């Protein structure tokens, strides 16, 4: 049986506890044994190296060096990492080793909650198959600092309405990557837990979780 650890906390504005419950249900339905924790100290435990998947939902905050480095080593050794929005890509702003794993870091969301479009760039990827080529979305449109080595599965284009200098900028929304032996998946969609009710968002996330998880031997 595949095993997953969900770790939630940090800023309440991203509904971390509610999102943890959604992920727990998804993973149980997909056959995982799931553990849910709120204390980042759990990431210092050598046992996390045996997990199939870690799902962070921990906006901002600080992480001590020992759990952070142990997490990085676990991913490098083959444990999967997957998550959404600021719970993964706006976590631990001063932990550059963590950001190196994720492949992107939030820096802005011009206009805050707005209407924008998500464009699928790799429709044949199993995570994106059957997702509309473009679909409307209402949330924060994340402006990211990105690692160019990630494999981008979907993007959004900034209109410049809320920050004129961003007009025409094409920004990754969904990506995956390999870090050492581990798989890393991220989607910037999902400011609040209610966004999991959007079929496209929830489908992409669920598939991304399963892609990132270490395959069963």
Distance CA 104, CA 107 (A): 10
CA distance to 78, 128, 132, 139, 168, per residue, from 115 (Å): 37, 21, 17, 7, 16
Would you say residue 217 lies in a domain? no
Would you say residue 150 lies in a domain? yes
Buried b vs exposed e over 156-172: b needs ≥16 C-beta within 10 Å? bbbbeeeeeebeeeebb
> pLDDT tens digits for the chain (217 residues)?
999 999 999 999 999 999 999 999 999 999 999 999 999 999 999 999 999 999 999 999 999 999 999 999 999 999 999 999 999 999 999 999 999 999 999 999 999 999 999 999 999 999 999 999 999 999 999 999 999 999 999 999 999 999 999 999 999 999 999 999 999 999 999 999 999 999 999 999 999 999 999 998 7
pLDDT digits (tens, 9 = 90+) for 6-26: 999 999 999 999 999 999 999
CATH number of the domain where residue 152 is located: 3.40.50.880
pLDDT digits (tens, 9 = 90+) for 41-71: 999 999 999 999 999 999 999 999 999 999 9
- Is 137 within 8 Å of 118 (Cβ atoms)? yes
- Please, which contacts does 127-136 make with residues 24 or more away whose CB atoms are closer than 8 Å? 127/153, 127/174, 127/176, 127/185, 127/204, 127/207, 127/208, 127/211, 128/153, 128/154, 128/174, 128/204, 130/203, 131/200, 131/203, 131/204, 132/200, 135/200
Q: Three-state DSSP class for 112? A: coil
Q: What is the pLDDT of residue 216?
A: 83
Would you say residue 12 lies in a domain? yes
Would you say residue 64 lies in a domain? yes
Q: What is the pLDDT of residue 190?
A: 98
User: Percent of the chain having pLDDT more than 90?
Assistant: 99
How many alpha carbons lie under 13 Å from residue 94 in its C-beta half-sphere?
Answer: 5
Q: What is the pLDDT of residue 30?
A: 98
State which residues form the domain around 195: 3-212
The structural domain count of the chain equals 1
Q: Three-state DSSP class for 128? A: coil
- Is 105 within 8 Å of 99 (Cβ atoms)? yes
Would you say residue 94 lies in a domain? yes
């Amino acid at each position: 049986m595949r095993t997953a650890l969900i770790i939630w906390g940090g800023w309440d504005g991203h509904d971390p506890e509610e999102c943890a419950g959604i992920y727990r249900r998804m993973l149980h339905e997909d056959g995982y044994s799931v553990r849910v924790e709120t204390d980042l100290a759990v990431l210092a435990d050598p046992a996390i190296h045996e997990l199939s998947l870690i799902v962070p939902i921990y906006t901002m905050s600080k992480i001590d060096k020992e759990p952070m480095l142990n997490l990085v080593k676990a991913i490098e050794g083959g444990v999967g990492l997957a998550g959404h929005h600021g719970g993964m890509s706006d976590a631990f702003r001063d932990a550059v080793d963590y950001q190196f794993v994720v492949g992107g870091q939030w820096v802005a969301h011009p206009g805050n909650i707005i209407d924008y479009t998500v464009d699928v760039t790799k429709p044949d990827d199993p995570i994106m198959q059957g997702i509309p080529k473009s679909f409307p979305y209402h949330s924060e449109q994340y402006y990211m600092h990105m690692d160019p080595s990630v494999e981008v599965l979907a993007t959004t284009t900034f209109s410049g309405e809320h920050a004129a200098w961003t007009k025409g900028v094409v920004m990754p929304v969904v990506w995956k990557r390999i870090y050492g032996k581990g798989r890393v998946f991220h989607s910037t969609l999902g400011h609040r837990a209610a966004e999991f009710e959007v079929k496209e968002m929830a489908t992409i996330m669920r598939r991304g979780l399963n892609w990132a998880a270490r395959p069963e031997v």
